[in-house]
Amino acid sequence: MIKVENLHKHFDKLEVLKGIDYEIKEKEVVCVIGPSGSGKSTFLRCINLLEEITNGAIYIDGVKVNDPKTNINDIRTEVGMVFQQFNLFPHMTVLDNITMAPMLIRKLSKPEAEKLALELLDKVGLRAKADNYPQQLSGGQQQRVAIARALAMKPKVMLFDEPTSALDPEMVNEVLDVMKQLALEGMTMVVVTHEMGFAREVADRVVFMDGGFIVEQGDPEQLFGNPQNERTKAFLGKVL
Amino acid sequence: MDFLELRWDIIWNYRELFLRGIWITILLTISGYVGGIILGVLIGLGETSKKKWIYWPSKLYVDLFRGTPMLVQILIIHLAFIPAIFGQSYGFMVSGITALILNCAAYNAEIIRAGIQSIDKGQMEAARSLGLTHSQAMRKIILPQAFRRMIPPLGNEFIALLKDSSLVTVIAANDILYAAKVVAGAYNRFWEPYLVAALLYLILTYLVTKVVAYVERRFSNSYNPRKKKEGRVAS
Ligand SMILES: Nc1ncnc2c1ncn2[C@@H]1O[C@H](COP(=O)(O)OP(=O)(O)OP(=O)(O)O)[C@@H](O)[C@H]1O
Ligand SMILES: [Mg+2]
């Protein structure tokens, strides 16, 4: 469903991605791990073109995203994204955060959008907070709202960029639980994370990135239990 | 100096001149400000543009008008610019309002640019990742937040413009300051007319301060009780 071919990304002279080839199948959960600065976020952000692609190609359902003829906004409605810093809209209530895009882009009526939003809030356990503003919520709650907001567009894929890294430790699990639930329901997910426990338990495949390359990838048992590459071993030695 | 010797009656004799002066000052200021907001929004957005042919003219405009004295701008517009384009002058009102609009727009543009750029870039990314176009994201997400932050500096700019409008007397606009000058010339007395002029400006700026404070209370961070308190402490 997502096919990445020889992906290169430069920031001016700095080459951050040095040729990534990868394919993500429908309903697959892929966790991306690796040291800081290895290009994980950049890789994720290239998929929905938050970063311009320098070279190579990414296809979503056969549509080349970095083709000048492709409408990038259409692509983005199919690709949900959850950020480390939540990025909820502070001037809108929780409910409005979720209904805004479906109404504006999917042309849902207000009652339809609100019904959908409340269902999603049920799913992340926050229906009671519908009328609150984001600042009145804890970090974990905000991130769950951000997930609901992304889901409201009914995306085919969800991208998560370290969704729990900005959270206090006691809030990490409430967000991971929502993500696990989503995985069980068959959502296609790409998750950049430092939560090795989550990767091991939920991922279908784990990708280890270092220095702008995919150094090693495989199913969790294999990658965590029997890593082949020296760099993978060194990294896992430090984090496990 | 003995205040008992001050002759306030000379002001009273020229009360109509002062009343007209107040009216002219208000008219100049409001016209200049409204025009300055409209033009300022366009130029301010231009300053945030990634397109070079929009960005550079906007930036140049702002630098030009902020980098030169308003008095000089008024004289150039009145004596050179307008006659050169239209072949004649249309009087102090047209020249004055034009100068105030052009000058005010530069300052407002800067406020609007700073307001937009003060919004965390994650907001734009979140909006775009949901499929909003750049202009939808601007309208729904960035500008509503930026606007709240722009209210205090835009209010300051209004007050600054009100005071700077007195510079238009240099092209013989009959505003408050002009009334004072006339009285001073007629009686060869200076305390009374200029104190009255100062007092009138003070009253007008005070009223504007009140309006700005009201607007600020009405809109500023109403969604964010915590930030509101911080803002008070900071200011
Ligand atoms: N907008 C940018 N401009 C210039 N350099 C950038 C930009 N974004 C990222 N980089 C650089 O690209 C490299 C990879 O960054 P990236 O954020 O993808 O790493 P990461 O693997 O997500 O790291 P982390 O675990 O710290 O989030 C880093 O060296 C970073 O400094
Ligand atoms: Mg990152």
Kindly give the confidence (pLDDT) of every residue in chain A, 240 residues in length, as a single tens digit, with 9 standing for 90 and above: 999 999 999 999 999 999 999 999 999 999 999 999 999 999 999 999 999 999 999 999 999 999 999 999 999 999 999 999 999 999 999 999 999 999 999 999 999 999 999 999 999 999 999 999 999 999 999 999 999 999 999 999 999 999 999 999 999 999 999 999 999 999 999 999 999 999 999 999 999 999 999 999 999 999 999 999 999 999 999 987
Collapsed DSSP state (helix, strand, coil) of residue B189: coil
Going by the DSSP 8-state scheme, the letter that residue A79 receives in this structure is E
Task: Please tell me the predicted confidence (pLDDT) of residue B216.
Answer: 85
Residue A166, H or E segment: none
Tell me the three state secondary structure of residue A67: coil
Say yes or no for a CB contact (<8 Å) between B123 and A87.
yes
B97-113: pLDDT as tens digits: 999 999 999 999 999 99
Taking residues B144-165, what's their average pLDDT?
A: 94
**Is the Cα dihedral A153, A157, A159, A164 positive or negative?**
positive
| B219 in contact with chain A, both atoms CB, cutoff 8 A | no
pLDDT at B71 over 60: yes
- Helix pair B191-219, B176-187: axis angle to 10 deg: 170
Tokens of A28: 């697959």
Q: pLDDT tens digits for B138-153?
A: 999 999 999 989 999 9
* Structure tokens belonging to residue B17: 């001149």
Which domains are present in chain B?
3-234 (1.10.3720.10)
Residue B4 pLDDT: 62
pLDDT band at B7; cut points 50, 70, 90: confident
Interface test with A, best of B123, B129, B148 (most A CBs within 10 A): B129
Which residues does chain A have within 8 Å of residue B136's beta carbon, measured at their own beta carbons?
104
Higher pLDDT, A170 or B231: A170
Encoding tokens for residue A19?
A: 């040729």
Taking all residues of chain B, what is their mean pLDDT, rounded to a whole number? Answer: 91
Q: Which of B104, B105, B103, B93 is nearest to B171 (CA)?
A: B93
Tell me what ipTM this predicted complex has: 0.94
- Between positions 113 and 172 of A, the ones with CB within 8 A of B are 133, 135, 146, 149-150, 153
| Alpha-carbon span A61 to A25, nearest angstrom | 10
DSSP3 helix / strand / coil % (chain B, rounded to 5) = 85, 0, 15
So what's the pLDDT on residue B227? 44
Tokens read off for B68: 């030169």
Q: Is residue B2 very low, low, confident or very high in pLDDT (cuts 50, 70, 90)?
A: low
Distance CA A50, CA A189 (A): 17
Distance from CA of A113 to the nearest CA of B (A): 15
The verdict on a CB contact (< 8 Å) between B136 and A104 is: yes
A214 near A208, Cβ under 8 Å?
yes
Of B166, B55, B147, B165, residue with least CA distance to B108? B147
Partner B contacted by A196 (CB < 8 A): no
β partners of residue A33: A208
What is the domain extent for residue A198? 2-237
Residue type at A161 in one-letter notation: D
Residue-level pLDDT at B6: 83
- For residues B9 and A125, which has the higher predicted lDDT (pLDDT)? A125
| Closest ligand relative to A43 C-alpha | 1
What pLDDT digit, counting tens, does each position of B118-136 carry? Answer: 999 999 999 999 999 999 9
Q: Is the distance from CB of A70 to CB of A121 less than 8 angstroms?
A: no
Q: In the structure, how many helices (H) and strands (E) does chain A have?
A: 9, 10
Enumerate residues 6+ apart whose C-beta is below 8 A from A170: none
Task: Give the span between the Cα atoms of B1 and A14, in whole angstroms.
Answer: 73
Question: Quick one: pLDDT band at residue B221, thresholds 50, 70, 90?
Answer: low
Number of domains in chain A: 1
C-alpha span between B73 and B168 (Å, rounded): 10
Report CA torsion sign: B195, B200, B206, B212: negative
Pocket of ligand 1 (CB under 6 A): A 11, 14, 16, 34, 36-42
Give residue-wise pLDDT tens across range B15-51: 999 999 999 999 999 999 999 999 999 999 999 999 9
- From ligand 1's centre to the CA of B177, what distance in Å? 59
d(CA A118, CA A110): 12
Question: For residue A50, what is the DSSP state?
Answer: S
| pLDDT score of B219 more than 50 | yes
Confidence at residue A80, expressed as pLDDT on a 0 to 100 scale: 97
User: In sequence order, what are the residues at sequence separation of 6 or more whose Cβ sits closer than 8 angstroms to the Cβ of residue A7?
Assistant: A17, A19, A20, A21, A43, A46, A53, A55, A56, A57, A58
B218 falls in which pLDDT band (50, 70, 90)? confident
pLDDT, residue B225, reads 47
For residue A14, which atom of ligand 1 is closest to its CA? 5
Computed on alpha carbons and rounded to an integer, the radius of gyration of chain B in Å comes to 21
- A52 and B CB contact within 8 Å: no
Contact call for A133 and B223, based on CB within 8 A: yes
**Ligand 2 midpoint to CA A36 (Å):** 7
Domain CATH number, residue A187: 3.40.50.300
Nearest to A85 among B122, B131, B226 (CB): B122
List, in sequence order, every residue forming a beta bridge with A80; answer none if it has no partner: A158
Work out how many CB contacts closer than 8 A connect A with B. 66
Q: B103-138: buried (b, 16+ CB within 10 Å) or exposed (e) per residue?
A: bbbbbbbbbbbbbbeebeeebbbbbbbbbbbeebbb
Q: What is the DSSP letter of A16?
A: E
Q: Which residues pair with A213 in a beta bridge?
A: A210
Q: Is B97 helix (H, G, I), strand (E, B) or coil?
A: helix
The pairing of strands A14-24 and A2-11 is antiparallel
